[in-house]
Each structure stands twice: as C-alpha cells, then as structure tokens.
Amino acid sequence: MSGGWDAVVVGARVAGAATALLLARSGHRVLLIDRAAFPSDTASTLYIHQPGVAKLAEWGVLPALLDSGCPALDTIGYEVGGVRLAGPAPVMPGAPAAFAPRRRVLDQLLVDAAVKAGVEFADRANLQELVHSDGRVTGVRFRTASGVRTEHARLVVGADGMRSRVARLVDAPVESGDPRASCVYYTGWTGLSTGFGFHESPGNWIVRIPTHDDLTLISTYFPQDRFTEIRQDPFRHHLAAVRATAPGLYQQLTEAEQVEPIIGTGDQQNYFRRGHGPGWVLVGDAGHHLDTISARGITNALLQAAFLAEELTVDPADPVRLDAALARFTRRRDEALTEPYQSTLELARLTVTPARLRMLREIAESPALTGRYFAVVAGMLGIDELFDDEDLDDDELFDDDGPDDDDVC
Ligand SMILES: Cc1cc2nc3c(=O)[nH]c(=O)nc-3n(C[C@H](O)[C@H](O)[C@H](O)COP(=O)(O)OP(=O)(O)OC[C@H]3O[C@@H](n4cnc5c(N)ncnc54)[C@H](O)[C@@H]3O)c2cc1C
C-alpha cells in the first residue's frame, strides 16, 4: 500500500484478528499476517467466559458461531472435597452462556469479519524482522511462498502469542512474572454427556468441556514439579487423575471413545511484558500470559483487542498521540487483568485449603451464592462482591427468575 499501513498486525487468532477487525472498523488501514495456514487449529481447551462471548456478540460474530453448531455451555458443576456446586451458567448482555468453539472455527470467523471490514489478510506469512526509523518501529519484513515482503506501518501490533517474535525483536522485558505452577494434558472424547464443569482434589484439577461435533475435551492439571514424570506417560496419568478425582466421569470414559490424541504442555508461563513502545504494541498472550487453568487466555485476548481499539481513536500519523494511546492501553490491560492473574496463580498451585473448602461449603448451600460464585469465576463479579448482596441485582446474572440447578448434568 502506498504511504504504508496504519497498522500491521502479526498473528491472526483471537488477539490479532479481533484487533484487526476493530481497527479496520474505526477506519484504519490494516494488514493482518499469520505464519499458519488458515483455517487453523491450535492447542487449547477452547473455553470462552461470558465477558469474551459478550465481545463476540457486540462485534456481530456470535450469530455465525451459533450457526456453526457450537453448543452453549449453560450449566456448571464443580466438585471438590465432598462439596458440590451446580447451577446455571451466569448470563450477561449479549452472552446467553459460555462457549468452547474449535479454534479453526472461532479464529476463522474473526478473520472473515476482519476481511469483511477491509483488512488485508495474508496467511503463511512469517514475520522475520521489524523495520526501524528514527528510533521507532515503522514496518515488518516477512517471508511468504513467493519471497520476502516488506511493509511499512505506523503501528506494528504483536499478537503472535506467548513466544512472540515481535516481543523479542523489540526487547520487551517481562515487567512482572511468576514461576510456572502447573502442567496440563487433555484429550477429546465422543459419547459423553457430561456438560461443562470441573473437579478438584489436592494436586489435580479436571475440566470437562463440550465443543463442536459432540466432542468433549477432558483436561487434567498437575503440579509443575510433576511434569517430567507425567510427560513420560501422559495418558496413563491423565486417566489415573480422572479416576481418583472424578470417579463418575471416569466411569463414563470407560464407555466413551477417545477420538483425539492426548496433548499437553508444561510451559505454563505467567507474566506481564512491557505492553508498548515507539510504534509497537503487544496484544493477547504476546504481552500477558497466565496459567491456562482458569481458561482466561481467549477472553483476555478479546478484552485487550477492545481496549486497544478504544484507545486508538487518535491519528496514527501523530507519533506523540499514538504512543500516549498505547500507554493508556497498557495501563488498562494491567488494571483489568492483574486481579484475575493473581487468582489464577492461586488456583494453579492446586492446593485445597480448609478455608476455601469452608467457603465453598457455605456457597453450596445457597443457589444464589452458587450463581454469584460462578459469576466470579467468569470474571463478571469481583471476589470481594461475592457475599455483598447490596451491590447486585441477581436478576442480571440469571436468565429467568434466579438460579435453578434442574438442568445440571
Ligand atoms: C493446553 C492449553 C489449553 C488452553 N485452554 C484455554 C481455554 O480453555 N480457554 C482460554 O481462554 N484459553 C486457553 N488457552 C490459552 C489460549 O489458547 C491463548 O491464551 C490464546 O490462544 C491466545 O491468543 P493469541 O491470539 O494471543 O495468541 P495465539 O493463539 O498463540 O496466536 C498467535 C498467532 O501468531 C502467529 N505467529 C506466531 N509467530 C509468528 C510469526 N513470526 N509470523 C507470523 N505469525 C506468527 C501464530 O501462527 C498464531 O496463529 C489454552 C492454552 C493451552 C496451551
């Protein structure tokens, strides 16, 4: 493009495609590149919390997701130490439930919406280096099947994931971080009707997540210090964990069919990187990553895309205003995502303290409190609001007249 792009976005999944979509809708000229061939899957247990679903609804992407046959996850069950919480999933405007779409479906829907909004999209386009001028990032150089291409831009958005090359090329330091706490393995099964939910015991966290094609993903989390042992024979450890922590689910697995191989990772990084600099910004996992146990990465990526687009109302040709907008984005990111980061770290330690069990026991006795607890888990309420009945009209959190666990599997 002559004169260059307003923004080149590197990485075209939830963070990058959503950012490109929103920037194009605000009138920016955007190039979106990804080294993968789309439609494309990636390792993930796919769960999107209600605030992320609400963003998809606001952007007009949710109807196509519903049309794709993605099941609504409208109930939740949680079992730990003899306590059972069960009830309907909370709702919020635009989000009738949570969803766990296949990434080749979700990411492609976002790319399609971005292209429809005017974004130029190139897949199989692998970022090699950044172009600099006068101390600013001013473009990208990437490799395609037909050779190396250079494009100039006022802003380069690194949405290229946890091992971000953009972050490496700009030397974005980790400004706060914590050691890895857990590791995870998951498989996909057909013939299960478990609904969405989790099971916990000391050292184990198990999640069941229905997705497209009548498939249910079962994921098992273990302490990080067991990773070397678990990776020797992950399927055996996966099944043993389900058997010990969720015996009812284990029984169902003996009659179901495992249709996807077991995959997993011990590389559960926890960090906030510097979010921006002259002519560059990091969105999604590139800038902030947290243990996947709380399934917040997709939702966080969508929220960050919205924050960035809301701040980038300035003319990107004005570097002072552009950099100020990027600084506001990073501040919003840190303000919004620090509390969920801390609670995720807590969960990822996989300890079941007597104090937490006491609290959960109290919550389990009240359907209203159970509903609020699930709203806290979804990121719709702060933990400090859980027992605070003055601040909240519970009708806003539930579909009908209040929580009712009749439908829970
Ligand atoms: C086992 C596992 C389970 C998970 N489960 C959940 C869950 O249930 N819910 C949830 O919310 N999150 C989950 N996550 C996390 C979630 O998948 C990520 O947080 C999310 O995908 C981040 O999106 P992103 O767009 O920032 O980055 P990514 O999804 O990592 O996408 C980055 C993109 O950048 C591209 N790219 C990288 N380098 C280059 C380059 N040099 N040139 C061009 N393109 C490049 C890649 O091809 C990729 O498409 C899970 C993760 C794992 C590993």
The answer to whether residue 157 scores a pLDDT higher than 90 is yes
What are the sequence ranges of the domains in the chain? 5-46+102-178+269-347, 72-95+353-409, 182-265
pLDDT of residue 11: 98
Can you tell me the distance from the alpha carbon of 200 to that of 220, in angstroms, rounded to the nearest whole number?
10
pTM value is 0.95
The residue nearest atom 15 of ligand 1, judged by CA position, is 297
Query: 33 CB less than 6 Å from ligand 1?
Result: yes
In sequence order, which residues have a C-beta less than 8 Å from that of residue 3 and are 6 or more positions away? none
Can you tell me the distance from the alpha carbon of 321 to that of 326, in angstroms, rounded to the nearest whole number?
9
CB atoms within 10 A of CB 162: 18
Pairing of strands 5-10, 147-158: parallel
- Render pLDDT for 327-364 as a digit per residue (tens, 0 to 9): 999 999 999 999 999 999 999 999 999 999 999 999 99
Can you tell me the distance from the alpha carbon of 189 to that of 185, in angstroms, rounded to the nearest whole number?
14
Pairing of strands 270-273, 288-289: antiparallel
Q: What are residue 277's DSSP bridge partners?
A: 280
The answer to whether residue 389 scores a pLDDT higher than 80 is no
Pocket test for ligand 1, best of 41, 160, 273, 296 (most atoms within 8 A of CB): 160
Domain 182-265 in the same topology as domain 5-46+102-178+269-347? no
Distance 159 CA to ligand 1 centre (A): 9
Amino acid at residue number 179:
P
- Render pLDDT for 213-225 as a digit per residue (tens, 0 to 9): 999 999 999 999 9
Residue 250: closest CA among 221, 220, 293: 220
The residue nearest atom 51 of ligand 1, judged by CA position, is 44
Provide CATH code, domain 5-46+102-178+269-347: 3.50.50.60
Fold type of domain 182-265: D-Amino Acid Oxidase; Chain A, domain 2 (3.30.9)
| Distances 111 to 114, 149, 157, 294, 387 between C-alpha atoms, Å | 5, 21, 15, 25, 41
